[in-house]
Structure 1
Amino acid sequence: MRYRVRHITEYSYGAPVSLCYNMAHLLPRDTRNQRCLNHKIQINPPPVYQNEGQDYFGNQTFYFSIQEAHKKLVIDVTSDFEITPLDALQWQAKSSLTCGELRAMLNAPNTPDLHMAKEYLLDSPQIRRSQALKDYAQATFTDDQPLLSAALAFTHKIFTEFKFDPDTTTVATPLEQVLEQRSGVCQDFAHLAIGCLRSVGIPARYMSGYLETLPPPGQEKLVGADASHAWFAVFVPELGWVEFDPTNDIMPSDQHIVTAWGRDYADVTPLQGVIFEGGGSQQLAVSVDVQRR
């Protein structure tokens, strides 16, 4: 399957910005079933400096600075991908590892991958382990449960017990509040799952990217109607990182497009930086379009 993704980010400021420095996580990365064919970045006003690189997690980064006064900033990124479908049932057939066996391996890691996975057991900027999160997950991840079956069951648990509602949370909403109110968006559900998994001793990481959405039968797809998406992945020694999407109750196959991964959203924020002046107010508009090629 081939896709073209166009992601347009537009900031409008209350007063001219005299200088800005930015880092973007908007470029594609290659995975075991995803290959980036090409990408193009257009920024207005044009940067005086720009450079592509990689962060600690191997994500593609784009640094740029603008040194002319501007009241509007537009970042337009177009990327082409080729994705090979993954068979979710095949994952389960390849691994019978139980949750207890994984915990034991992590207590005495004997491979570089296990050592690295332990980093995803720790607290991160937006995810803190807690007793409440542990209580919500521990019945699913008992020692005798196969890890992948437990992760699938927990994905379904979040999907059925939580309501998708963009008006109930912000990027700063604590996980305990999400757990109590049983609502949020894909970022909240990914953070919640990761916090719960880490609280019961299972390494989990945050996945950021896009999800192809299909219009109802007989209707045309609206340009720019797609959005950024978030899900999570669990470490399985024989398989590596296996992904789950609690917002849609599925294991990603060929409609999830990965841009970055990290400990949580703070590691992979699409755009972050510093501006000078700007009037103290700004408006953000984001348009994402995912099209099959």
Structure 2
Amino acid sequence: MKLEISHITRYTYLDPVQGSVNEIRLTPRSNYRQSCYHHQIVTEPPSNMFTYEDFFHNRVHSFTVDKPHRELLIKMISTVVTHANDNTQQTTMSPEEERQIMQQDTFQNKFIEYLLPTSYTEFTPEIKAYSNRIPDTGISISDLIESIYTTINLDFVYDPYATSVQTTVGEMLKIKRGVCQDYTHFMIAICREKGIPARYVSGYHFVGDLQGGNADFTQASHAWVECYIPGTSCWFGYDPTNNCPLDWRYIKLGHGRDYNDIVPVKGVYRGSSFQNLEVTVDVRLVEGA
């Protein structure tokens, strides 16, 4: 399906600021399940962009605004074509063979970034106890992953006011509430605790056709999990927030170990300590696609 994305970030400051240095990770990937045909980023005040790839091969745009300003606008517009049937796990290995591969040093060394805990996904005793509640013997890794995200979806309540961008999986477990970032971090922690390589993915989720054609609802960036299954040579996406594997509605921007690696917009500046952030996201299905 062909989808158009508009992502507008607006910072306003109480007093003029200057020396604003920023990094943007808002470029959709082109890979086996999606193709980015158009991509544009503009800023106000205007700036020159420096582009590079980070350690995880995410496209990064960096820019600096030196002159004093009381507002910074960053607008991204993209057109992406997604595919519907690229998330099917196909492996002829038995569950025992899958686990034998996962226990090999070569496998663990290859995926070490996505197997170790981070500050967001720490293996606390409580997290390990939760992981132990999910049976993992005698079933395929694919079935285990489905059991993990289904259990998480049933046990937690989506609540946009319960957590912050700094919330860890340990804190989420205490309150049993959170948003897509929290669900994603929690699933990553459980997968890694069980030896499954798992990474944090940022992007967008088109839901317009699920709203009866009504576009008058709040949209936002989204996050989900990609897991590597032995014997497939592929990463597969899962959305614990919506309790499902990925389909054509999902548009990937990038991935990393956790949210810190894939913050969409971040920067520093000199000036007023007071700022207001406004983010507007719009994902639309192109007519006739």
**TM-score range relative to shorter protein:** over 0.9
Distance 1:101 1:133 in 2: 26
Q: 1:138 aligns with which of 114, 119, 132?
A: 132
For the 8 Å contact 1:86–1:252, the answer to whether it is kept is: no
Distance 1:171 1:46 in 2: 29
Alignment of 1:192-271 (within 5 A): 192-214=186-208, 220-222=214-216, 225-239=218-232, 240-271=234-265
Partner residue of 1:288?
A: 281
What TM-score results when the alignment is normalised by the length of structure 1?
A: 0.91
Q: Structure 1 residue 96: deviation in Å?
A: 4.6
Higher mean displacement: 182-191 or 150-159: 150-159
2:162 is the counterpart of 1:168:
yes
Q: 1:220 to 1:63 in 2, by over 3 A?
A: same
- AA in 1 matched with 2:279: V
Partner residue of 1:80?
A: 79
Distance 1:153 1:178 in 2: 19
For the 8 Å contact 1:163–1:182, the answer to whether it is kept is: yes
Q: Structure 1 residue 109: deviation in Å?
A: 3.8
SS in 2 for 1:189: helix
Structure 1 unaligned segments of length 5 or more: list them: none
2:114 is the counterpart of 1:94:
no
What TM-score results when the alignment is normalised by the length of structure 2?
A: 0.92
Say how many residue pairs are matched.
285
SS in 2 for 1:267: helix
For the 8 Å contact 1:131–1:199, the answer to whether it is kept is: no
SS in 1 for 2:109: helix
Q: Give the superposed CA RMSD.
A: 1.9
SS in 1 for 2:11: strand
- AA in 1 matched with 2:236: V
For the 8 Å contact 1:101–1:143, the answer to whether it is kept is: no
Distance 1:217 1:44 in 2: 33
Partner residue of 1:53?
A: 52
Distance 1:266 1:21 in 2: 17
Q: 1:110 to 1:116 in 2, by over 3 A?
A: closer
Alignment of 1:267-282 (within 5 A): 267-277=261-271, 279-282=272-275
Q: Structure 1 residue 263: deviation in Å?
A: 0.2
SS in 2 for 1:128: coil
Q: Structure 1 residue 31: deviation in Å?
A: 2.1
SS in 1 for 2:244: coil
Q: 1:219 to 1:30 in 2, by over 3 A?
A: closer
Q: Structure 1 residue 138: deviation in Å?
A: 2.6
SS in 2 for 1:18: strand
Q: Deviations over 1:150-171 (max 9, x none)?
A: 1111111111111100111001
- AA in 2 matched with 1:284: L
Distance 2:154 2:116 in 1: 27
2:103 is the counterpart of 1:107:
yes
SS in 1 for 2:72: strand
Distance 1:107 1:219 in 2: 48
Q: Percent identity?
A: 31
For the 8 Å contact 2:114–2:192, the answer to whether it is kept is: yes
Q: 1:265 to 1:141 in 2, by over 3 A?
A: farther
For the 8 Å contact 2:196–2:229, the answer to whether it is kept is: no
Distance 1:217 1:192 in 2: 28
Partner residue of 1:41?
A: 41
Distance 1:54 1:273 in 2: 17
Q: Structure 1 residue 52: deviation in Å?
A: 1.5
- AA in 1 matched with 2:20: C
Q: 1:242 to 1:71 in 2, by over 3 A?
A: same
Distance 2:150 2:195 in 1: 20
Q: Deviations over 1:12-48 (max 9, x none)?
A: 111111111111111111121111101011100011x
Structure 2 unaligned segments of length 5 or more: list them: none
Partner residue of 1:116?
A: 110
Q: Deviations over 1:236-264 (max 9, x none)?
A: 13222111101101100100100010000
